[in-house]
Amino acid sequence: MAAKTSDFPAKQRQLNEDVASGDFKPCYLIYGDEAYLRLQNRDKLVKALGGSANSMNFNKYEGDNISPTEVIDMAETMPFLSDRRVILVENSGFFKAGCSELADYLKAPSETTLFIFVEKEVDKRKDIYKALSKIGFEMECSAQDEELLKKWIRSRVASEGKDISPRAQAVLIDRVGTDMSNIATEIEKLICYCIDRNAITEEDIDAVCANYLTGRIFAMTDAISSQDQTKAMELYYDLLALKEPPAKILALITRQFNIMLQIKEMTDNRRSSAEIASALKIAPFLVGKYQGWARKYSFEQLRGALELCASNDEAVKKGKLDYIISVEMVIIGCTSVGKAG
């Protein structure tokens, strides 16, 4: 699981204090790969500063084709019947690629303009980042660790007058993943499902919540066994976007091929579907699915896929290979073997 930024809680408290007191910095930079936190803090600042589409003193710029000169000209424009103009710049790429014009401007910006920058990625070596850090506030919104996610889940559930046990919190994270937007959506569904009860249980989670990881892993296995490399890669990148660790994805791919190999052997030995399901501890209805996948590979190809998974995992642990690339290599290798005869 991705580790959170160590100073995130302190940064969040500081931003909340700025909003509560109304004592704002000249500029704010909210960045990081946790979209839920980025957007939540963006909206919190915009609301506190009175920003809206109808306000003559609120200007929004979005995308990678923003003109720095246009932004600076607007920043120099006096607010209309107000003490302050608010400029929101989102997904500009300025803090990754650099922007010398804004970097220079932020060294002495207009006292009547407040900037809010919202970006996914930043390069702290760039002059614009250094200039903003000297006069403003920056906060990284990274994927949170499991303990912080559990506290957040408990808080969200409690705000609706319900309770959720530590075990159920862990089950929810394991089932849905660590993306906070996905978790928030599933919590809303659980609240509605348990509207007449005070507690959310593990059984409720099993009944209501989509298993994002398992569903995509099954779809990826289907794509790999069909030799559809493009589709398999797309599903892999979807899992990465959901912040699933590549190590976990590789482990699950390895498990799928291991099950296929065992099922191929037991099917050849004329074991029944019920016997196979019992021996491998999988649902009976999944046996046919695995048998269909296994038929597309020879025994040698399945063993080769498992050896590839194991060797790549070992290479990563020895520091010879990056985990993200290691999974890509497994997908390419397993979709390039050709169909079994």
Q: What is the pLDDT of residue 29?
A: 98
DSSP notation for 201-233: -HHHHHHH---HHHHHHHHHHHHHHTT-HHHHH
CA–CA distances in Å: residue 66 to residues 34, 88, 124: 23, 12, 21
Q: What is the pLDDT of residue 201?
A: 94
Same domain as 165, residue 186: yes
Q: Token match 């194991």: residue?
A: 310
Average pLDDT, the chain: 89
Lowest pLDDT segment from 178-192, 261-275, 282-296: 282-296
Of 30 and 253, the structure prediction assigns the larger pLDDT to 30
Q: What is the pLDDT of residue 1?
A: 38
Asked if residue 230 belongs to a domain, the reply is yes
What band does 340 get if pLDDT is binned at 50, 70 and 90?
very low
Asked if residue 245 belongs to a domain, the reply is yes
Same domain as 125, residue 24: yes
Burial status of residue 135 (CB atoms within 10 A of its CB: 0-12, 13-18, 19 or more)? middle
Asked if residue 85 belongs to a domain, the reply is yes
Q: What is the pLDDT of residue 337?
A: 65
Report phi then psi at 200, rounded to 5.
Answer: -100, 125
What band does 239 get if pLDDT is binned at 50, 70 and 90?
confident
CA–CA distances in Å: residue 106 to residues 18, 76, 114, 127, 128: 20, 12, 11, 10, 8
Lowest pLDDT segment from 122-126, 127-131, 141-145, 240-244: 240-244
What band does 5 get if pLDDT is binned at 50, 70 and 90?
very low
- For 146-155, what is each residue's pLDDT tens digit? 888 999 999 9
**Terminal Cα distance for the chain, rounded:** 40
Q: What is the pLDDT of residue 6?
A: 55
40, pLDDT greater than 70: yes
Which tokens hold the place of 160? 């609706």
- For 50-75, what is each residue's pLDDT tens digit? 877 678 999 999 998 999 999 999 99
Q: What is the pLDDT of residue 156?
A: 94
Same domain as 232, residue 303: yes
- For 167-223, what is each residue's pLDDT tens digit? 999 888 877 877 888 899 999 999 999 999 999 999 999 888 866 667 777 788 888
Asked if residue 340 belongs to a domain, the reply is no
286, pLDDT greater than 90: no
pTM of the predicted model as reported, rounded to 2 decimal places: 0.63
- For 77-133, what is each residue's pLDDT tens digit? 999 988 999 999 999 999 999 999 999 999 999 999 999 999 999 999 999 999 999
| Percent of the chain scoring above 90 in pLDDT | 62
Same domain as 303, residue 189: no
Asked if residue 170 belongs to a domain, the reply is yes
Same domain as 228, residue 288: yes
Burial status of residue 142 (CB atoms within 10 A of its CB: 0-12, 13-18, 19 or more)? middle
Q: What is the pLDDT of residue 92?
A: 96
What band does 312 get if pLDDT is binned at 50, 70 and 90?
very high
Number of domains in the chain: 3
Range of the domain at 246: 212-334
302, pLDDT greater than 80: yes
Q: Looking at 119, 140, 161, which one is the last position of a domain? A: 140
Same domain as 24, residue 105: yes
